[in-house]
Structure 1
Amino acid sequence: MYILQQRIENMFDKNDFKVFEDMTLPGRLELIKTNLDPKFEEIGSELMRRLEEEYQQQFYMKIAKHQRRTKNPPPDTWLAINQDKRGYKKTPHLELGLWPDRYFITFSLLADIKNRAGYYPLLKDHQDTIITEGWGVSNDHTSSDLQPATDFEKVAAHYEKVKSSDLVIGYELKVDDPLVQKGNYDQLLIDKFMKLSKFLVSFNQEVE
């Protein structure tokens, strides 16, 4: 374990965001594949190990390949972890990734998730925890902006009423944050991911 932890340290750095400076589709895809995907593989394997050790359950990981894009370069990139081997988008899932100006770690229930109405009561059950822990919240997984935790009740109500909306809970670390400029924040990202994972496991246990 000590050797693995040594490899994890100083893996992400502010140069990660340079992939978004290439405005062409093939150029950005190649930079993501070369510069970011190996990091996702490394940290994703560590996250999977920790998740399975903590919860004694099965998890599955997917790294975004952006294969459906034919013209515009991807505005973000990520790894996703869930508990359904058939795919993550229609199930509760966690993501760790980058927008051009920030890292993000999110737990999401997307608009077309299976058994959607079954999650509504759980949002109320976890509301106090989400607000107290200060997670950012959003109704749009395609936007980088997270609203403050104090808006969660409004965001959850919107998710119930508007069928095209998402429910996103998460954390962001912006490129201009002193932590990013200084470096060595991999453990912070891992810790935030693991803390957010309790929602994934809890929601899956409550809704079959």
Structure 2
Amino acid sequence: MEFSGFTQDDFNVFSIDGLEARMDALITHVRPKLTWLGEHYAPLLSTLAGQEMFAHVAKHARRTKNPPNDTWVAISGNPRGYKMLPHFQIGLWETHLFVWFAVIYECQGKPQIGENFQNHLGDIHAGIPNNFVWSEDHMKPGAISHGSLSAKNLNDSFQRLKDVKKAEILCGCHFDRDEVVKMGPSDLLKSLDGVFRQILPLYKLT
């Protein structure tokens, strides 16, 4: 399969009513593209991170009633899963495509990760591009631009990662759906590659 990029129909999947109908559309149209992206970027991230990385496409298998509002492929250093580790994600909400470095609530060792981030606060604040975004909840589509955050704001988020059991932190980039569709596959792949290289230092700090 050649990667053909994303279309408006891919994003419109999330407006389909009903669990079964939406899942059918996700599996048919979106999941093959996420599978391709995971298989494409896992070798690159393996090289960049200095360890073997594995792709995990979201299955949404536990859902019995509510259809998913987003979907993704995660790339982690464990062939069996990703939630327990810092990892990378590429995925879609109805409004945008996201690319994340992610430490979510199941992740082990969050206090040490928060400590490591605090110890490199200046480098992180200076090194992340202003148009990148941060989130403290992977279940919500919103995010805060890096350019609007002070070093103290970041430090507070890192402290929360240390202190709060359910705390999360994600950093990466959002691409508006119309922008993604106009970019086409080649430009999109280049952009995703660039995002991964910018957020890789965060992964290495974990």
**TM > 0.5:** yes
The residue type equivalent to 2:174 in the other structure is E
Partner of 1:191: 194
CA-based RMSD of the aligned residues comes to 2.1
Please give the secondary structure, in 1, of the residue aligned with 2:114. helix
**In the alignment, residue 200 of structure 2 is paired with which amino acid?**
S
Matched, 1:91 2:88: no
Residue 92 of structure 2: SS of its match in structure 1? strand
User: What is residue 43 of structure 1 aligned with on the other side?
Assistant: 37
1:16 aligns with 10
- C-alpha displacement of 1:169: 1.3
The reply on whether 1:69 has 2:63 as its aligned counterpart is yes
**What residue ranges of structure 2 are gaps of 5+ in the alignment?**
none
With over 3 angstroms needed to count, the CA separation of the structure-2 counterparts of 1:41 and 1:111, relative to structure 1, is closer
Asked if the contact 2:71/2:91 (under 8 Å) is kept, the reply is yes
Matched, 1:169 2:171: yes
Cα displacement (A) at 1:81: 0.6
Would the alpha carbon gap of residues 56 and 157 (structure 1) be closer, same or farther in structure 2, given more than 3 Å must change?
closer
> Cα–Cα, structure 1 residues 128 and 62, in superposed 2: closer, same or farther, change >3 Å?
same
Cα deviation code 1:93-138 (max 9, x no counterpart)? 1111011111111111122321222112221134334333233112
Following TM superposition, the consecutive aligned residue runs of length 4 or more in structure 1 with deviations greater than 6 angstroms are none
Tell me if the contact between 1:137 and 1:155 (Cα under 8 Å) persists in the aligned partners. no
Give the TM-score normalised by the residue count of structure 1.
0.84
Say whether the 8 Å CA contact 1:136–1:146 is kept in structure 2: yes
TM-score (norm 2): 0.84
Distance 1:70 1:32 in 2: 16
Compared CA separation, residues 194 and 41, structure 1 to 2 (3 A): farther
Q: Which runs of 5+ in 1 are unaligned?
A: 204-208
How many Å apart are 1:141 and its aligned residue? 1.3
Cα–Cα, structure 1 residues 57 and 158, in superposed 2: closer, same or farther, change >3 Å? Answer: closer
Whether the aligned pair in 2 keeps the contact of 1:139 and 1:159 (CA below 8 Å) is no
Residue 136 (1) aligns with residue 130 (2)? no
1:155 and 2:152 are equivalent in the alignment? no
Letter aligned with residue 133 of structure 2: G
Contact 1:107 1:170 in 2 (8 A): yes
Provide the C-alpha distance between the structure 2 equivalents of 1:91 and 1:56, rounded to a whole number of angstroms. Answer: 16
**Structure 1's 90 and 53: CA in aligned 2 closer, same or farther, altered over 3 A?**
closer
Deviation per residue, 1:32-63 (Å, 9 max, x gap): 11111111121211101212334442111100
Structure 1 CA distance for aligned equivalents of residues 66 and 9 of structure 2: 22
Following superposition, the deviation at residue 26 of structure 1 comes to: 0.6
Identity of aligned residues (%): 27
Inter-partner Cα distance in structure 2 for 1:102 and 1:85: 28
Instruction: Kindly provide the amino acid, as one letter, of the partner of residue 159 in structure 1.
Output: L
Task: Select which of 82, 85, 96 maps to 1:102.
Answer: 96
Whole-angstrom distance in 2 between the partners of 1:136 and 1:44: 22
Q: CA deviation at 1:77?
A: 0.2
Letter in 1 for 2:182: K
